[in-house]
Amino acid sequence: MNHFSRRTFLKGAAGLTAGLLLSDNLLGQENTELSFPNRMLPAPLNGGFAMDDYWVWDPSVVKGEDGLYHMFASRWSKEYGFGNWVTNSQIVRAVSKTPAGPYQFAEVVLPARGKQFFDGCATHNARIVKNGKYFVLYYFGTHYSDPAPKPGDDVWDNGVAKRSWMNKRVGMAWSKSVYGPWTRSEKPIIEPRPGHWDASITSNPSPVVLPGGKVYLMYKSSPKNYDPPLLLGAAGAKSFRGPYERLSDKPLFEFHTAGQMENDVEDPFVWWAKDHFELIMKDRFGHICGEEGGGIHALSKDGIKWDLASPVKAYSRTVKWEDGTTTKQGNFERPFLLFEDGKPTHLFAATGAGSRPYQLERSWNMVIPLK
């Protein structure tokens, strides 16, 4: 086996010069002027991507070879409940002439392909990157032996969703064009490790392309199942084709304690900024940034040891719109930054309107321009 060591990975990362800090300062120093909240402009009312008859989630945008902006996202029919993301989701592509959109549906990219495959029943958590000549689409896929859910079925109550959740595995697909054809990995690129902190699943991939095509990949897992705490780990590969090997045997963040297990993070978006990594991610319970479902900003020299930024809060569920109104979104998740010429220009997020998180009337992928 050709081992990909942490030392080899860090040596490669040190040579990368592209990218721009959002907090152009030393790790841990406060820089309020350049913090995320102060970079956000009002959100366009008709921006992003929505479909009337579908739940929409997981925004990830890349500029195609045609000069247009292509959003890879997840959708599932509104015939089913919002909770069917884990049983019925499929990854699609939408297109816009401008980064803010609105994006128009173009095609299904990763449909269900049969229960004999690890991703045979559902694909979700799209993350698209350009690596050399290839567009590489990371995602999680899952399968289940149960009959396909019917409209009206409560898949979390009858257990189908929980069984599907436990089969989540990170996979990838690649193509030389955003239009495909796409070649899918036949097996997951990261498997759970029995007896370790990441024994249950692998999901929520967040890739970073490093010099020479090397890849840093953050992923989510847990020791047992879907109960908190959910934890994040890091893997690396010499090329996008793998193999992907862990860069640490321990989770990257452990905010929980024996007396407060409901304190964790998910949905990381990671990038390289001149000489270090940065990320934004979701504070699930709000004990870190002060808002349930709000965002956290963190920094790292090596992708293994992370420090919370100052200020720590990256974003809020409260959104200011271009017409002067302000709303508190039911959800604001799966943050994604679009970089152009090394600069972050737009923040995308999966969002929804509803009385409280996950009790949504509709969902869509919104966009916030950045100063």
CA Rg, the chain, in Å?
A: 19
Which residues are registered as beta bridge partners of 300?
Answer: 277, 306
User: What percent of the chain has pLDDT above 90?
Assistant: 85
Could you tell me how far CA 209 lies from the centroid of its own chain? 15
Average pLDDT over all residues of the chain: 91
pLDDT confidence bin for 275, thresholds 50/70/90: confident
Residue 34 confidence (pLDDT):
58
In this predicted model, what pLDDT tens digit does every residue of 188-212 receive, in sequence order? 999 999 999 999 999 999 999 998 8
Residue 160 confidence (pLDDT):
97
pLDDT confidence bin for 285, thresholds 50/70/90: very high
Residue 141 confidence (pLDDT):
98
Cα distances from 78 to residues 5, 81, 193, 338, 357, in angstroms, run: 45, 6, 35, 28, 17
Section 272-280 average pLDDT = 92
Section 306-327 average pLDDT = 96
Closest CA to 304 of 216, 178, 225, 215: 216
Section 344-366 average pLDDT = 92
pLDDT confidence bin for 64, thresholds 50/70/90: very high
Question: Under a CB-based contact definition with an 8 Å cutoff, are residues 45 and 323 in contact?
Answer: yes
Closest CA to 298 of 285, 286, 317, 283: 283
pLDDT confidence bin for 286, thresholds 50/70/90: very high
